[in-house]
Amino acid sequence: MSDKKIFVLVLYNHVGEDEYEKLKQVDESQLDFEPEYPIQVATVREEYAALVKALRREGFMAGALNLEDDISKLEALIRRRPPDVIFNLVEHFRDEPALEANVAGLLELHHIPYTGAPPFSLTLCQRKGLTKQLLMANGIPTPRYRLLHTPEMPRRHGLRYPLIVKPAREDASSGVEKSSVVQNLEQLEARLKAVFEEYSPPILVEEFIEGRELHVSILGNDPPEVLPIIEWDFSELPPDHPPIISYAVKWDPLEEVYHRVHSFCPAKLSRAALRRVKEVAIKAYRVTGCRDYARLDIRLAKRAVPYVLDVNPNPDLTEGVSFMESAEAAGYSFSQTLRRIVELALERRDEDC
């Protein structure tokens, strides 16, 4: 590295209250269950501060910018002092996940290298139906499904129960609850009615894959490296909660189920299963145009068939969580992983975009 430090700008977009700020006030002794994990999870601000600190530890000059839905803040900064590279952690704009890709597009127009997936991949993976079509066309197993634009399920749908109902253009388990898994037509119709009231179509009705849930993180491009795989243990969930990562399981420390699901790494897989999971994960990463880093949510069904449920470009990089848990199991520290992602983006410095 030359004497001049590389300037990395961590770019994100957060508006409104920080829900996790409120958790600081919670009195744990008032909970009616025994929490296993801390209730006080890091706030949004603390998480980005941790990233900046880690990047500085790696010798970069680093700062963070919260767009707060105002793109002129970025334009002003680019005019004043263009960063050498942007750590792009923007996930939505004006509350619209679909605008995520436009921010990456803007960085391309400015010729600023940025981390993670290009606009095409960000847009594609937000459309679960389209992504599934592409996966299937490439021989990558994904659960059979129907995409609905109205709450009526065709009578001869040909899918086998149990089914799972989920919004097709949401992520992070939004709209995935314990009642999302349905066993018969009556439950399906009730769930469709509820989901259509809350979410915009299309809605995905998918065959529920019984089996082990794996989170497969990938780092790099040429070639991509599959990091040690995480497996989820749902065995402590109460019987009324299906074995899934529902919204409450993923995000809400005030819900008991959040404390009853555990992950471990590496997943214990036979050599053959590991090979198939890796193969499918890399293929899915490539065909969806992911870049630098991504996480695939996979269910390993009978006869070790790995079904791709979800492709996540630019997954959460919180220390100790999913992607970073896998990276750490591979021997990369939190800050080394961030450095690696920055370096991958810097390799594109002289490219057109």
Ligand X SMILES: Nc1ncnc2c1ncn2[C@@H]1O[C@H](COP(=O)(O)OP(=O)(O)O)[C@@H](O)[C@H]1O
Residues interacting with ligand X, by CB under 6 A?
A: 143, 164, 166, 170-174, 176, 206, 208-209, 213, 244-245, 297, 299, 309-310
The CA distance from 167 to 178, in Å, is 14
What does 213 bind: ligand X, Mg ion, none (CB cut-off 5 to 8 Å by kind)?
ligand X
Least separation in angstroms between residue 5's CB and ligand X is 37
Are 298 and 232 within 8 A, CB to CB?
A: no
- When the beta carbons of 60 and 145 are compared against ligand X, the nearer one is 145
Least separation in angstroms between residue 297's CB and ligand X is 4
- When the beta carbons of 248 and 338 are compared against ligand X, the nearer one is 248
Burial of 38 (0-12, 13-18, 19+ CB in 10 A): exposed
Peptide bond before residue 162 is cis, with ω within 30 degrees of 0: yes
Determine which helix (DSSP H) or strand (DSSP E) holds 286, and give its type and residue range: helix 271-287
Does position 310 interact with Mg ion (CB under 5 A)? The reply is yes
* Phi, psi angle pair for 143, to nearest 5°: -55, 145
- When the beta carbons of 178 and 340 are compared against ligand X, the nearer one is 178
Residue span binding Mg ion (CB under 5 A) among the ranges 104-112, 194-202, 277-285, 289-297: 289-297
Q: Which residue has the tokens 């050599």?
A: 271
What does 172 bind: ligand X, Mg ion, none (CB cut-off 5 to 8 Å by kind)?
ligand X
181: which strand partners?
164
Does position 328 interact with Mg ion (CB under 5 A)? The reply is no
- When the beta carbons of 203 and 209 are compared against ligand X, the nearer one is 209
User: Which tokens hold the place of 185?
Assistant: 């037509």
- When the beta carbons of 176 and 327 are compared against Mg ion, the nearer one is 176
Least separation in angstroms between residue 210's CB and ligand X is 7
Q: Which residue is nearest to ligand X (CB)?
A: 310
Does position 256 interact with Mg ion (CB under 5 A)? The reply is no
The Cα diameter of the chain in Å comes to 68
CB-based contacts of 308: which residues, under 8 Å, 6+ apart? 135, 140, 141, 142, 280, 281, 284, 296, 297, 298
Site string for Mg ion, 211-250 (x = CB under 5 A): ----------------------------------------
CB-based contacts of 81: which residues, under 8 Å, 6+ apart? 7
| Site residues for Mg ion per CB under 5 A | 297, 310
